[in-house]
Structure 1
Amino acid sequence: MSAARNEALETWMKEHGHSANSLAEAANRAVERLTGRTGSYDGSSVRSWKSGRVRWPNEFTRRALEAVTGMSATELGFVPRGRARPARAPQQEDDMKRRTLISGIAVAAAAVPGTAPRRIGMSDVDRLQQRFTEIIASDIRWGGQPGIEQRAAALADEALNLQNAGSVAPRVRSSLYASAAAFRSSAMWAAIDGCRYDTAKAHMREAQALAEMSGDQAIKFRVWSHAGSMYRHMGLPADALAANDVARSLHITRRDPLFSCLGHARHAATLGLTGDTAAVHRALGAAQDALERADPDAVRPMWMAAVGDGAELETLALSAHLRLGNFEQAEAHAHRSLALLRPQMQRDRAINTARLAQAQLGQGEADAAASTAMEVPAITATRHARVARMLQEFGAALRAAAPGNTIIQDWTEHTATWRTAT
């Protein structure tokens, strides 16, 4: 009996303009990022995957294809040994519909019959960029809210719809894909920040595909760096490190040291999960060196502003040392981060204040820790999922560390006021 063709892989290749040879080349580059050695795939390898002759590739092949496509091996139509190839599930149908949208088929935006096609230009891209500025401002202030996620996702669709609203020059088309990827990555980050990880994964896959079509290195870096943060927050350090490696391997990190700084700093925060103190120190040292080499006057995306002033590096160093249990160092980074954060960065200020409280509690300073935690505004403590979870964990640790201390009663009474304040 002949092998069943891998229709899911064939469909993905068609939608993303890949031939057998170009996918093989992309997979080879992914293997090199993962292992340090160039892969040996060629067009015949890909044809074997498509034909179904290879139903379940080896681990390195699966990881390479997942890095290239942003999809799992099973979503790409591969079947683990011993299992039958499943019929396409409703969720897979939904994913296919979303990827159809990504490919630019936006019927609702078609030009009105009988009228001359409108020319889509950079002024349309500039208008989208202004909306992106508004999304970033909302994220900086509140973060994690479903409303931010929904607005960002809708604007990503709007950017895609413009592809078919008129004639589009290649440069404008790339910019529209970059705008769509930027909005989708903001939707992804809002979902991560709100601890809605399944939704974040769906946004991630679309953002990765859009970023590839745009060819924009900065947005590729943002998407993969966000992916690393997502896996770190999920407690999956191996996946987080792999995603960080993709971001750090992009040539924009060699062209602009500030991107290198952010890549190393986020890598350090993930390494904190592994308990490798030496590796954390190396990564933070590399981040600091890159920050010092970066041109402060270079033009960069607005979402890099906190990296340029050092606030993001201090924030990620705080996270790394807190994970390692280096509470004194964590406290020092917390104070520096809070001093550097701009006033409008209320979400980050609340998160780092909660982390400062954890660092103080780790040093046995229960009273000081509780006082610090009480500085988090009630509206952030109750409406931001990640902050709320951190403060719940802090409360449990406080009760365990200082049983019988009157500060426990103060903390309980304080948290009770949150319900009435909001």
Structure 2
Amino acid sequence: MTKQRNAQLDALITEFGFSHQALADEVNQTAERMFGEPTLCTDRHVRRWISGDVQWPWSQYLLPLQSIFGRSAEAMGFVPRKSSRVPAPPRKPAETRDTSSWGRREFIGAGLVATLGLDGIPVNGRLGATDVERIRKVVPTLYRHDHALGGGALHGIAVHALQRVHHALDRCSYGDRMGRALYAAAGDLAASAGWFAYDAGHQEAATKLYNRALQAGILAGDGMLQARVWSNLAMQARFLQRHQEAVHIGRAAIESRQAKGNAWLMALLHCRQAVGHARMGDRVRAERSLARAETAYDRRSGQPPAWLSFLTAAELTGLAGAAHQALGRHGRAQDLTVAALDMLEPRFERNRVYYTAQHARALLDGGEIEQGVERAEQAFTLAGRVNSERIVGKLADLRGEARRFAHVPAAADFLERTQERRT
């Protein structure tokens, strides 16, 4: 068999934001969930698949790869031999299925693929209003699970859906008016996929997806979509410690005509600007942005789009707590974060972890060490239910803060208990 580079697999790895080693680790973890024991996949295996040295991997690698990317072996660029076949995954007794932490996330994620209706998107012919509606329904379906599962469980699914949509856009026909509607729907999906990638810790992939969403927004003439993407890019810049850039991007989003006409979006943008100003030490602008966020939130009407469904009074209060924490007002940050946690609905599992960790940090910074590490322990316990690298990073920062107080027995015990714990 002639050796040929597997460009399809290489493109998938880039699209999903994996390094060679990260994909090997994911294969091992997925295999452990499938077979009950890990494989010995390494970055060398991944390089050999890409180079074409191995054109049909062993089933112990192939089945996990199909699960990770949501594609058949051939769709990943592998070339079967005459005797090649993909065996069925091993059957596990129903009573042993793990519906907490990873098992729960993978089970729901696998079920989601079947409910998105992607098979109904044409691969040729003419696209119409029914197809626009089918694409638009994907995003609310994904977001119904995002708040509980985290972006790590949904990123790959969203990217796969987006690829199906762009395949149709490239190969089917449609008029100008329908084209704008299709690109608006595709942009909504791309922006959502970008958010899931961001939450999953795949920042390069998130940036590419945001740029794709921005391009779709321009093609669709959808200013609201463009403002949404600018908002997400500002949040990403702040996450990457580029605080001044985040404030400038956020200001551009606020000044857009579409944002000014949507109270839901304006409330979110002003809240995020408040945190940005606070991290730059600008108390006056932070307080002004918080006041404007409250005013905008009071003017909202109707229901928010799916991607803004997290924006509740609890979220605004929690973001206000984050701003005060950044300003060094630890007591006020504690009060606001506790209020946010009290108001938070049960469906927002990831945000409950996030604000529990925020409360712990405010307690530690305020000198209440024993209460802080107790709260931090709660955050670590809750975190096992979500798949979010942002949460992992926040908990790592929390441990780093607790190390400052390692001479306090409660902090020392906390550090020892969480040393080997996976979140």
Q: TM-score normalised by the shorter chain: which range applies?
A: 0.5 to 0.7
Verify the 8 A CA contact 2:135 2:186 in the aligned structure 1.
no
**Where does 1:363-378 land on structure 2 (aligned, <5 Å)?**
363-378=366-381
Deviation digits for residues 5-59 of structure 1, max 9, x if unmatched? xxxxxxxxxxxxxxxxxxxxxxxxxxxxxxxxxxxxxxxxxxxxxxxxxxxxxxx
| Residue 311 (structure 1) aligned with residue 317 (structure 2) | no
| Residue 120 (structure 1) aligned with residue 127 (structure 2) | yes
Verify the 8 A CA contact 2:238 2:246 in the aligned structure 1.
yes
| Residue 339 (structure 1) aligned with residue 339 (structure 2) | no
Identity across aligned pairs (percent)?
Answer: 25
Partner letter of residue 378 of structure 2? E
> How far apart are residue 217 of structure 1 and its match?
2.8
| Residue 324 (structure 1) aligned with residue 330 (structure 2) | no
**Where does 1:191-230 land on structure 2 (aligned, <5 Å)?**
191-230=197-236
Verify the 8 A CA contact 1:160 1:176 in the aligned structure 2.
no
Partners of 1:225 and 1:236 lie apart in 2 by 14
Larger RCO, structures 1/2 (Cα 8 Å, 6+ apart): 2
Aligned to 1:186: 192
> How far apart are residue 230 of structure 1 and its match?
0.3
Structure 1 runs (4+) greater than 4 angstroms displaced? none
User: Matched residue pairs, number?
Assistant: 302
Secondary structure, aligned partner of 1:375: helix
**Where does 1:244-323 land on structure 2 (aligned, <5 Å)?**
244-295=250-301, 298-307=302-311, 309-323=312-326
RMSD: 2.3
Partner letter of residue 203 of structure 2? Y
Over 3 Å counting, the alpha-carbon distance change for 1:273 and 1:261 in structure 2 is same
Deviation digits for residues 53-102 of structure 1, max 9, x if unmatched? xxxxxxxxxxxxxxxxxxxxxxxxxxxxxxxxxxxxxxxxxxxxxxxxxx
Aligned to 1:54: none
Partner letter of residue 121 of structure 1? G
Deviation digits for residues 125-157 of structure 1, max 9, x if unmatched? 222222212221232112231x42222122222
> How far apart are residue 287 of structure 1 and its match?
0.6
Partner letter of residue 300 of structure 1? P
> How far apart are residue 224 of structure 1 and its match?
0.8
Over 3 Å counting, the alpha-carbon distance change for 1:174 and 1:367 in structure 2 is same
Partners of 2:257 and 2:317 lie apart in 1 by 24
Q: Which moved more, 1:326-335 or 1:170-179?
A: 170-179
Partner letter of residue 164 of structure 2? E
Partners of 1:299 and 1:160 lie apart in 2 by 29
Verify the 8 A CA contact 2:138 2:189 in the aligned structure 1.
no
> How far apart are residue 336 of structure 1 and its match?
2.1
Verify the 8 A CA contact 2:402 2:415 in the aligned structure 1.
no
| Residue 405 (structure 1) aligned with residue 411 (structure 2) | no
Partners of 1:356 and 1:272 lie apart in 2 by 17
> How far apart are residue 120 of structure 1 and its match?
2.0
Partners of 1:165 and 1:368 lie apart in 2 by 59
Partners of 2:361 and 2:211 lie apart in 1 by 34
Aligned to 1:386: 390
Aligned to 1:414: 417
The alignment's TM-score, normalised by the length of structure 2, stands at: 0.66
Aligned to 2:168: 162
Partners of 1:232 and 1:384 lie apart in 2 by 17
Verify the 8 A CA contact 1:109 1:161 in the aligned structure 2.
no
Aligned to 2:358: 355
Verify the 8 A CA contact 2:150 2:196 in the aligned structure 1.
yes
Verify the 8 A CA contact 1:156 1:181 in the aligned structure 2.
no
Aligned to 1:139: 146
Partners of 1:195 and 1:320 lie apart in 2 by 23
> How far apart are residue 161 of structure 1 and its match?
2.6
Partner letter of residue 397 of structure 1? E
Partners of 2:202 and 2:170 lie apart in 1 by 32
Partners of 1:110 and 1:334 lie apart in 2 by 49
Over 3 Å counting, the alpha-carbon distance change for 1:272 and 1:196 in structure 2 is farther
Partners of 1:163 and 1:319 lie apart in 2 by 42
Q: Which moved more, 1:378-387 or 1:340-349?
A: 378-387
Partners of 1:379 and 1:188 lie apart in 2 by 25
Partner letter of residue 134 of structure 1? T
Aligned to 1:171: 177
Deviation digits for residues 287-333 of structure 1, max 9, x if unmatched? 111111222xx2431222232x3233223212222222111121122
Partners of 1:280 and 1:313 lie apart in 2 by 14
